[in-house]
Amino acid sequence: MTIKIEGGIVLGFDGEKHRIIRDGVVVFDENQIIHVGKSYPGEVDEKVDAKGKLVTPGFINTHCHAHTPLSPHHLTVDISLDPYYQHAGIGMHIARRGATREPRTEEESSKIKKLSLVKRLLSGTTTYVEVGGGDEELVRLTEEIGIRGYIAPGYKSASWVFDEEGRFGYEWDEEKGWKGLDEAVQFIERHHGSVNDRVRGMLYPAQVDTCTPDLFEATREKADKLGVGIQTHVGQRLIEFQEIVRRHLKTPVQFLHSTGLLGPDFIAGHCIFASGHSRTSWPGHGDQRLLAETGSSIAYCPVVFTRNAVAMESFGRNMRLGVNMTIGTDNYPQDIVNEMRWASMLSKVVDFDRTSASSAETFNAVTLNASKALRRTDIGCLQKGAKPDIVILDLQTTRIAPVYDPIKSMVNAATGDNVERVYCDGRLLVDQGRVIGVDETKLLAEVQEIADNDWKRVSDWDYAERSLKEYAPLSYEEWAPE
């Protein structure tokens, strides 16, 4: 079946860069894009009117966690995490200390993951890179929802632990790390290229501070053998930066490089605390040069880190230093359009420079740069032969119009709610801002119920004997006047 999207502002790809085609057409079938241009003389089965709308390649979200529509991250907003240098990723573990809660059922976990995929899709993500939530159920949900994903279970040689006083440390279990790597390899062998090649694998040793050098080296070896990429969390916390310097006399990026991990197939999750960041006291831009020389990529998730009172220094500067910069949504909200705006704006503030991280550069991060990070040329661009992953975003809304430059309007004024249609692999998955075949109202109600129960149980957890509301106070106290 051939479909022609016509009348919109098409962001075509000329083989080198995106170009604006006003009143353009995109023609595609279930396998590929057939034509991008001003007109198409051939017959088609269906025409879609995109007048006043932006027609772009589907966005690529290079760092997101499927379990996080519901996680302790919701509880740690606005609260002090001073002893952990403000980082929620560690601070939230306080809430888990001594936790006696029952694990979620498989059904609960599946609903949470499904909601995460729905959120991604609704804001125009057609390809996601999952971090940590990779399992059989996520493969099944990815098939059901119709999105494209990079999936594999994570593994590590150590866990973060906290003693009775809340002091942070590591509990090592190297065997567990090796077993995890084996399982991830088997998972990738089972699923890489499955679901009409919408599912691919990627190795994910969890964090730079929780894996041994040997495990990273073995990961590189396996990735080369399997022909898949690698991602890990690196430079996400000041404590982690200091810990790696203490252990190895190297920055986290230098340390990873010494294990052979860096390369054109490597995505550094976050990489905020790196050389040149004012809080690290590590001078120069050696880390950025290493990443650039090896062709490595960074997945920046600005919204989540802004909540942690920290910004990359900076997204724009890293681009100028030659690092392949991409963007992810991490935990919540999972709105990649919103995330673009934060990446661009924070960069301008940090650099004190209006030209830093332009709208076009930021848009490239979720399209061309991201496809490069995944070593692909068939996604992230609208050109003949590319995968039919297409987003139609309404610009003629009160929120956005009038429009001079469609990309600047999108990056500066749009949110995921302005995404009207999403096609992935040629299939219409989102229409009028709703995921086809998913009862969103029902799913939201179900996950809200799981969340309410989960957070209620937090009251039973043993964290310094404080109640949930003492630990995570509401913005205003509840009131029930007569």
Residues in touch with Zn ion (CB under 5 A): 131, 330
Distance CA 74, CA 78 (A): 10
SS3 108: helix
CB of 301 to Zn ion, least distance (A): 7
Residue with smaller CB distance to Zn ion, 60 or 131: 131
CB of 305 to Zn ion, least distance (A): 10
Site of tokens 């610009």? 395
CB of 25 to Zn ion, least distance (A): 39
Residue with smaller CB distance to Zn ion, 145 or 234: 234
CB of 249 to Zn ion, least distance (A): 26
CB of 423 to Zn ion, least distance (A): 28
Residue with smaller CB distance to Zn ion, 127 or 359: 127
Strand 46-49 to strand 199-200: parallel, antiparallel, or no bridges (unpaired)?
A: unpaired
Show Cβ contacts of residue 426 under 8 Å, excluding neighbours closer than 6 positions.
3, 28, 29, 30, 31, 32, 388
CB of 210 to Zn ion, least distance (A): 13
Distance CA 43, CA 26 (A): 13
Residue with smaller CB distance to Zn ion, 70 or 435: 70
Instruction: Pull the structure tokens for residue 482.
Output: 């007569």
CB 213 within 8 A of CB 141: no
Site of tokens 């009862």? 439
Show Cβ contacts of residue 428 under 8 Å, excluding neighbours closer than 6 positions.
421, 422, 436
The H or E element that residue 423 is part of is strand 419-424
Residue with smaller CB distance to Zn ion, 113 or 285: 113
Residue with smaller CB distance to Zn ion, 66 or 145: 66
Half-sphere exposure of 162 (CA within 13 A, CB side): 20
Distance CA 345, CA 411 (A): 10
Where are the alpha helices (H) located in 269-405, listed in sequence order? 286-294, 302-307, 315-320, 336-351, 359-365, 368-373
SS3 63: strand
Show Cβ contacts of residue 80 under 8 Å, excluding neighbours closer than 6 positions.
none
CB of 29 to Zn ion, least distance (A): 36
Distance CA 395, CA 78 (A): 33
Residue with smaller CB distance to Zn ion, 274 or 419: 274
Q: How far is CA 479 from CA 296, 458, 467, 474, in A?
A: 52, 22, 18, 12
CB of 40 to Zn ion, least distance (A): 42
CB of 200 to Zn ion, least distance (A): 19
CB of 354 to Zn ion, least distance (A): 30
| Burial of 439 from C-beta contacts in 10 A (0-12 / 13-18 / 19+) | exposed
Residue with smaller CB distance to Zn ion, 131 or 414: 131
Residue with smaller CB distance to Zn ion, 24 or 205: 205
The H or E element that residue 176 is part of is helix 174-191
Residue with smaller CB distance to Zn ion, 131 or 319: 131
